[in-house]
Amino acid sequence: MTQPAILVARAVFPETLERLSQHFQVESNQSDESWSKEEFTARLQGKAGVFTTGSERIDAELLAACPDLRICANMAVGYNNFDVEAMSARGVLATNAPDVLTETTADFGFALLMATARRISESEHFLRAGKWRKWSYDMFAGGEVHGSTLGIIGMGRIGQGVARRGAHGFGMNVIYHNRSRLTPELEAECKARYVSKEELLKTADHVVLVVPYTPASHHTIGAAELALMKPSATLINIARGGIVDDAALAVALREKRIAAAGLDVFEGEPQVHPDLLTVPNVVLTPHIASATVPTRRAMADLAADNLIGYLVHGKPKTPLNPEVIGAK
Ligand code: 8YV
């Protein structure tokens, strides 16, 4: 029997390709550059599956041009690159990579919070530039982390991980806002109290964003929301770029309407709003919250498990639209 053909849209671990090639005819992108939409569409011809990495857009137009496609397996928990409704309409299975990155991403959210509150990047730049000549009572004096109020917007698995770190590790007072409330058991475990978004923005010392990106969450934080925050507060975004209006944030940072921000994700990344590059009170990282070697391996393994699980055995591990299983 001939093996199904699949496409791997970006360079991944050699071991992942090796494993996939035991089950499929694999065509893979060997470079770090992503393919143009035209090239991606052309390469998808005759492919039953595609391994995506979170940024390749799968929409109705592409699906119409790729009738052989049966599954798109994202190596990411976020799947805003997928139009799942259009995929379901065409009988194409969507899978993501949840759970395996929860704790690692929560670690990074906390690292970014610490670096932002304690001005680690800014002070390192100062030191490297040879500007450290003397001690001063207020040199890089930042905001407190332990015992402060942590406000989490988006209380899914990663948000809960950030809450646990704050409550149990740093004695923080944790408040959260989410589409729905957690169960009383989970609230107790995370030591987190549900509040309105407005109360959260007005009272938190550190606001952490962990919501999925959807049309409804676009610009969850814009000029009006930034204006509600305390001038001493920090904003941390480990969710998706479009959740924050980056232009409005750059103004708020420059005018010290909030103290600082820590951003791992950006609108239009890998481009970064030029004004964010020139304000000192922001820590910027290139979308690396899940980037530890074991976690990236686990994410790649899970995407491969989904391709093999579905195309070889008919059973994917983490389907987003299970109703289409077997439709094609
Ligand atoms: C990925 C992420 O690294 O899982 C997600 O949703 O944002 C990151 O962990 C990114 O999407 C590229 O794979």
CATH number at residue 47: 3.40.50.720
At 69, the pLDDT band (50, 70, 90 cuts) reads: very high
Residue 123 burial (CB count, 10 A): 16
* Separation between Cα atoms, residue 135 and residue 278, nearest integer Å: 26
Around ligand 1, the residues with Cβ closer than 6 Å are 53-54, 75-78, 101, 290
Report ipTM (2 d.p.): 0.95
- Distance in Å, CA 239 to ligand 1 centroid: 9
Distances (CA, A) of 15 to 18, 71, 304: 5, 21, 11
* Separation between Cα atoms, residue 325 and residue 328, nearest integer Å: 8
**Could you tell me the pTM of the whole model?**
0.96
What's the rounded mean pLDDT across residues 101-130? 98
Q: Verify that 162 and 40 share a domain, yes or no.
A: no
> For ligand 1, atom 4, which residue shows the shortest CA distance?
76
pLDDT, tens only, 242-268: 999 999 999 999 999 999 999 999 999
Domain interval for residue 143: 102-284
Q: Which of 240, 267, 273, 296 is catalytic?
A: 240
Residue written as token pair 């389907």: 319
The pLDDT value given to residue 32:
77
pLDDT, tens only, 120-179: 999 999 999 999 999 999 999 999 999 999 999 999 999 999 999 999 999 999 999 999
Q: Verify that 237 and 304 share a domain, yes or no.
A: no
Q: Verify that 47 and 60 share a domain, yes or no.
A: yes
**Residue 272, token pair as written in the block:** 């970064």
**pLDDT above 90 for 319:** yes
- Distance in Å, CA 267 to ligand 1 centroid: 15
287 is catalytic: yes
pLDDT, tens only, 2-36: 899 999 999 999 999 999 999 999 999 988 788 99
* Separation between Cα atoms, residue 133 and residue 318, nearest integer Å: 55
At 287, the pLDDT band (50, 70, 90 cuts) reads: very high
At 224, the pLDDT band (50, 70, 90 cuts) reads: very high
Number of domain units in the chain: 2
Q: Verify that 248 and 313 share a domain, yes or no.
A: no
Q: Verify that 16 and 129 share a domain, yes or no.
A: no
Q: Verify that 23 and 89 share a domain, yes or no.
A: yes
Ligand 1 pocket check: which of 29, 56, 287 to mutate, most ligand atoms within 8 Å of Cβ? 287
Amino acid present at 214: T
Q: Which of 218, 219, 269, 297 is catalytic?
A: 269
